[in-house]
């Protein structure tokens, strides 16, 4: 059986994520007290209902029971169960905005005496241990509901243990960091095509921009060293059971240098691994 424990910061999109899991055929249980998860897992194993994929949503709504989640997860793993933890997060400012727009009440608002910022801080403290042992991490700050659903579907549509899923992303530092990335490479050290009039409105997807970025010796050397590092690291991640790896390249605006390097690495890895995707977070954002 496959068990997914979905948790994370309130307001980060857990309801949307669990709907996506349900669409994939998971039997989903929302707001499950952690101390009951082990018992329900045993019940599923002995059931004749063919429940081979089960997802539990466990978060601070369970109150004092929530502190048992970390222990529960470790107990399940020690017992040999196939269990993965999906952790959802978002920037504090984004969470505050979402609560204001929906007019929903944060589950810790009373404990924080009505202070939403303090509520989020308290919750982060409570989630710290579980976040540290999560198998998947999604930062939904820049995602629409549809994008979050697609992200969850991509993680669990197939057997994630058979092949590692490699996501290669570009982004612009001016729009915020790529918080969910496992590896981040800052390519702002390279000459910027933005200052070339004929290239400014183009992106790293165009041959002209890519050729400009890669014509410099430092770019070629950096590319070679990154390939060497990634080729060395991925087998180690696979050996440790990691099923998703997010590699990000950042430049100033996320349109030229980072896109060029993301595309080149994706082409390099596509010949070695079967599940490689590339995404350019900020490529369509307007840059003055």
pTM of the entire structure? Answer: 0.60
What is residue 159's predicted lDDT score, i.e. its pLDDT? 47
C-alpha pair distances (Å), 266 with each of 21, 151, 286: 27, 18, 25
DSSP H/E element including 17: helix 14-23
CATH H-level, domain 2-156: superfamily: P-loop containing nucleotide triphosphate hydrolases (3.40.50.300)
What is residue 48's predicted lDDT score, i.e. its pLDDT? 66
C-alpha pair distances (Å), 259 with each of 54, 60, 163, 165, 203: 38, 39, 25, 19, 7
**Contact call for residues 143 and 94 (beta carbons, < 8 A):** no
Give residue-wise pLDDT tens across range 213-265. 999 999 999 999 999 999 999 988 877 767 789 999 999 999 999 999 999 99
- Give the burial class of 207: count Cβ atoms within 10 A of its Cβ; 0-12 exposed, 13-18 middle, 19 or more buried: exposed
Strands (DSSP E) contained in 96-230 are 136-139, 165-172, 183-186
What is residue 160's predicted lDDT score, i.e. its pLDDT? 40
| Pick from 28, 10, 153, 182: nearest CA to 88 | 10
Give residue-wise pLDDT tens across range 21-35. 988 788 999 988 888
- Residue 90: other Cβ atoms inside 10 A: 24
Residue ranges, the chain, pLDDT below 50? 159-162
**CA angle centred on 215, ends 210 and 219, rounded to 5°:** 85
Q: Would strands 82-89 and 27-29 be described as parallel, antiparallel, or unpaired?
A: unpaired
What is residue 198's predicted lDDT score, i.e. its pLDDT? 95
What is residue 158's predicted lDDT score, i.e. its pLDDT? 57
* Sequence ranges of the chain with CATH classification 3.40.50.300: 2-156
What is residue 42's predicted lDDT score, i.e. its pLDDT? 81
């Amino acid at each position: 059986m496959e068990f997914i424990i979905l948790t994370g910061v309130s307001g980060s999109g857990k309801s949307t994520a669990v709907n996506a899991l349900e669409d994939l055929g998971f039997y989903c249980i929302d707001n499950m007290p952690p101390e009951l998860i082990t018992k329900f897992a045993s019940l599923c194993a002995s059931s004749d209902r063919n429940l081979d994929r089960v997802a539990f949503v466990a978060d601070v709504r369970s109150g004092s029971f929530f502190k048992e989640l970390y222990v529960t997860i470790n107990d399940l793993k020690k017992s040999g169960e196939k269990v993965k933890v999906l952790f959802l997060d978002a920037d504090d400012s984004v969470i505050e905005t979402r609560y204001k727009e929906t007019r929903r009440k944060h589950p810790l608002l009373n404990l924080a005496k009505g202070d939403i910022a303090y509520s989020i801080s308290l919750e982060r403290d409570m989630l710290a241990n579980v976040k540290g042992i999560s198998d998947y991490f999604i930062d939904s700050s820049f995602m629409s509901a549809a994008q979050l659903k697609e992200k969850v579907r991509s993680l669990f549509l197939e057997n994630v243990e058979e092949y590692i899923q490699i996501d290669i992303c570009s982004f612009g530092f001016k729009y915020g960091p790529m918080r969910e990335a496992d590896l981040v490479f800052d390519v702002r050290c390279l000459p910027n095509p933005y200052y070339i009039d004929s290239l400014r409105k183009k992106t790293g997807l165009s041959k002209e921009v890519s050729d400009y970025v890669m014509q410099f010796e430092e770019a070629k050397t950096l590319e070679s060293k990154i390939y060497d590092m990634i080729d060395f690291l991925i087998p180690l991640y696979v050996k440790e059971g990691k099923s998703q790896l997010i590699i990000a390249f950042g430049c100033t605006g996320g349109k030229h240098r980072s896109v060029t390097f993301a595309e080149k690495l994706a082409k390099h890895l596509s010949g070695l691994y079967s599940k490689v995707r590339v995404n350019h977070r900020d490529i369509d954002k307007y840059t003055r």
